[in-house]
A and B are shown apart, each in its own frame.
Chain A
């Protein structure tokens, strides 16, 4: 099975993606990874080796909290949920990222000037 084309995650963006994924509601590690993969149309592949350290780091910072719950398949899984400060952090990170990507977009596609 040929691997789909992938992009490397930029440093520090995994945290943002995790926080964003948890916005609708609690989820466990495996589901988070799958969700990111799916919604990025398989362009982003989350390494398990960096997912769990990232989750625990976010937990240590107090942006997400964890609890053991039964999964939809009836197994015990560790569910992460966004905390209030995590929500604030998400907003901050998101606007920062959008500013950054817009800025990079402007540089890469200088539409206004190139036309002349």
Chain B
């Protein structure tokens, strides 16, 4: 420590030190010559002899200075200056290398950080590894559920799966406390009207069982969380709010506790706040408000409230459990599955006896996360692609540095020749590489931060409440940066390593005539190998991009059976304003009439789901036959004409059908074909398996063309029954979607719509307003992301590969100036010179293609499941990819080729 201070003190007195040293040596000389003069020498001779004795004064001074211990730092500063000067004088090289590093490090970190937040992170709760999700699957879906039909855990098309259970089933599982220490559940309550004081907003709300928080092991940030006693009929209405909502509405967690609020006009007391990092058992939902599930008795429509706690056919509780210590998931499943099957047989359940739900206990440590399953495989594919880009970037850096190394061989040899120490030289080259790598690394971090934001926006595409919390993952950043920088260092040292190998003379004698990507030399082979690798990898990425773009095109051209253009849709929930039963229908109906009268609106209707936006199944029987699963859509008047679904037979549901006591219904052609054997359906009756509407039946008055009712555009056309919304087939009076067919741009009516709703009831918020087209595009989100990202990657890959090609070829040409000069002097036409360079480029590209095409054919099989009506070996895609690669390679090679052709033979030869 003391030594350090002394050194620092010296550093500040640097100039004085130099003067002192000179004075000290001067004094020595004086003493020495005086001594000699006293021995009888003449003053001049004495002085000269003293000088001789002292030796080289500069060297003495230099060595003495070395003793001060600052040489290393001084040399470093020198190296740094030299490195910066070098970078500045090779702007293109530096820019290309830094760009490669930035892209490699940044893109990888961004994608991986995203994967980490979606796939790898556990719930921020106590012992997440012991949490499980209870799910089931059946061959056919027959009972209507309330959930989003999350069957992502099943292999594709092997049946129906879900994670919701009826309350009686939930209670049965809960009673089994031998394997589980806790069984808890929740269900989204939707976006509810949340009013505190005089301010109201829409808050995402979740029903949770009384033991939810205790079972998850989540501590409150303030107040207390919901406990068992809060969750029973007749308990005081309590709510727990999220940390974010407490900050937003009340300023602090303490302020929020104890506040009275209104949820859908019902009074609740806020008893506590969840911790900041808790986003619910399904992180993709991220509720703002948690209320006990028994609140459903007050909040839901009467029909649903009545049946929700007693009916074994109403499946709605997402069920999770915590395993007892020492019990494995498989053991739990072995114990519980037969018990559940046995229980199902004892209750009167409206399911096919041969196809009762089979229990599946899944890992719940990461929560039930729809987003997780939806994006896990796509992200893996993206990760592979980005990994390829990282390899490309590293290969590029290696190549650029190799090319420069070759170009600098002479410089290095000269420096070694005039006595530069080898270690000193290595240190200097290392400094250059470190400077380059640090610049690239810093840019990479910035790019990663930007990339995460960009990805969040891309994946969240239009979703208002998208709640994926991706943070920059420093481990990944360190790993990718480490890899890229190590590459830089390794190849940055090549000139030094080459120089230390063998003697200097050949390199010194080497003039600009020889060399290039020195044929046959180790460096040349390595460099060409890297270029070929880049070409091959780029082709693979190009093919992937091509396949995804084709898939997106196919998806966009699917016939949906209705006109998706010029339709404005939005959602309303009249129950939020306190309307009940018949008032709700009345309100919806009158509002529709007002919309229909707006200038620019050509048709208006409403429905409980949006076409290509959701689906609700229930068992439907025709003329009393065995009920089978069908899609049921509740619609308002003029639904077919508004959506432009063709009417095939009979008539469509009109205004009168909404209020008539004799219920009419429409079916689609698929229903007629599959359920009625193609017979005339008009006048036949359908009845519904829904518990709320067990006795309802409706007469078929019309047949529509097939229109897509499903989760996305690739869903098949299934049997559909359209019923009047006033029939309230599900029992729960819920939000409705309005559809307005417009003459022009649908969004231009948004203001008018809000105004009309405000006039009708100022308490009611309009939510989820978008065009029917954007609803459909939303279901293709994944494909859109794939197509966009992969196209981006492909451009990136091509760019990086071309940069490498361009860099190497430019160096090559620069080094062969002499040779080319001689050729031209001997009569080679410019065209030949151009072809000489382009020929090399084409050769490299062709070898790259020869390797890349088989690799792409193998690789594309991995993405087969993401393709729609596109073969993995799609010849058109392959051809376009190969052609783009060749064109890009020729473009990258043309500039150096042209500069080669511009070489003036005379000046080139004089240069020798």
Contact = CB atoms under 8 A, between A and B. Distances in A.
Contact of A52 (B2, B24, B31, B34): B24
Contacts of B859: none
5 contacts: A52-B28, A53-B60, A56-B65, A57-B67, A61-B3
Nearest to B32: A30
Contacts of A78: 20, 23-24, 27
Interface string A28-62: 11110000000000000001111011111101111
Contact of B28 (A30, A56, A57): A30
A34 to B, nearest CB: 8
Interface of A: prevailing SS = helix
Interface in B64-95: 64-69
Interface in A12-35: 28-31
Nearest to A47: B55
A29 B54 contact: no
Contacts of B25: 52
Contacts of A56: 64-65, 67-68
A76 B27 contact: yes
Contacts of B626: none
Given A47-B55, A49-B54, A30 B60 contact: no
Interface of A: 28-31, 47-50, 52-57, 59-62, 68, 73, 75-78
A60 B3 contact: yes
Interface string B21-37: 10111011011101000
A27 B63 CA distance: 21
A29 B28 contact: yes
B126 to A, nearest CB: 57
User: Which 7 A-B pairs rank lowest in CB-CB distance, beginning with the nearest?
Assistant: A56-B67, A57-B67, A30-B31, A53-B63, A49-B55, A48-B54, A78-B24
A50 B55 CA distance: 10
A88 B31 CA distance: 31
B65 to A, nearest CB: 8
Interface residues of B, number: 28
A48 B25 CA distance: 9
B248 interface: no
B59 interface: yes
Nearest to A49: B55
Contacts of B64: 52-53, 55-56
Contacts of A73: 34
A73 B7 CA distance: 32
Nearest to A59: B67
B56 interface: yes
B55 A48 contact: yes
B69 A60 contact: yes
B20 A49 contact: no
Given A52-B24, A59-B67, 11 more contacts: A29-B24, A48-B28, A48-B60, A52-B25, A52-B28, A53-B64, A53-B66, A56-B64, A62-B3, A76-B27, A78-B27
B24 to A, nearest CB: 5
Contacts of B65: 56
A31 B3 CA distance: 27
B6 interface: yes
A44 B312 CA distance: 108
B464 interface: no
B53 interface: yes
A75 to B, nearest CB: 7
Between B28, B30, B55, B59, the greatest number of chain A beta carbons within 10 A of the residue's beta carbon is seen for B28
A53 B32 CA distance: 18
A29 B64 CA distance: 13
Given A30-B31, A75-B27, A60 B68 contact: yes
Contacts of B63: 49-50, 52-53
Contacts of B67: 53-54, 56-57, 59-60
Contacts of A53: 60, 63-64, 66-67
Interface string B824-868: 000000000000000000000000000000000000000000000
Contact of B27 (A30, A59, A62): A30
Contacts of B53: 48
A48 B21 CA distance: 13
Interface string B321-337: 00000000000000000
A62 B6 contact: yes
A71 to B, nearest CB: 8
A49 B62 CA distance: 10
A28 B32 CA distance: 13
Contacts of A54: 67
Given A62-B2, A62-B3, A62-B6, A49 B27 contact: no
Contacts of A52: 21, 24-25, 28, 60, 63-64
Interface string B795-823: 00000000000000000000000000000
B56 A49 contact: yes
A75 B31 CA distance: 10
Interface in B564-581: none
Contacts of A55: 64
Contacts of B30: 75
A28 B27 contact: yes
B758 to A, nearest CB: 83
A30 B54 CA distance: 11
B17 to A, nearest CB: 9
A24 to B, nearest CB: 19
Contacts of A48: 28, 53-55, 60
Contacts of B59: 49
Contacts of A76: 23, 27
Contacts of A47: 55
Contacts of B21: 52
A54 B56 CA distance: 16
A70 B739 CA distance: 104
Contacts of A57: 67
Contact of A49 (B23, B31, B60, B68): B60
Nearest to B10: A60
Contacts of B3: 60-62
Contacts of B66: 53
A60 B6 contact: yes
A60 B163 CA distance: 75
A75 B32 CA distance: 13
A113 B66 CA distance: 49
Most B-side CB within 10 Å, residue of A31, A49, A50: A49
A49 to B, nearest CB: 4
A29 B23 CA distance: 12
B9 to A, nearest CB: 12
Most buried by B among A48, A54, A61: A48
Most buried by A among B6, B31, B53: B31
Interface in B865-908: none
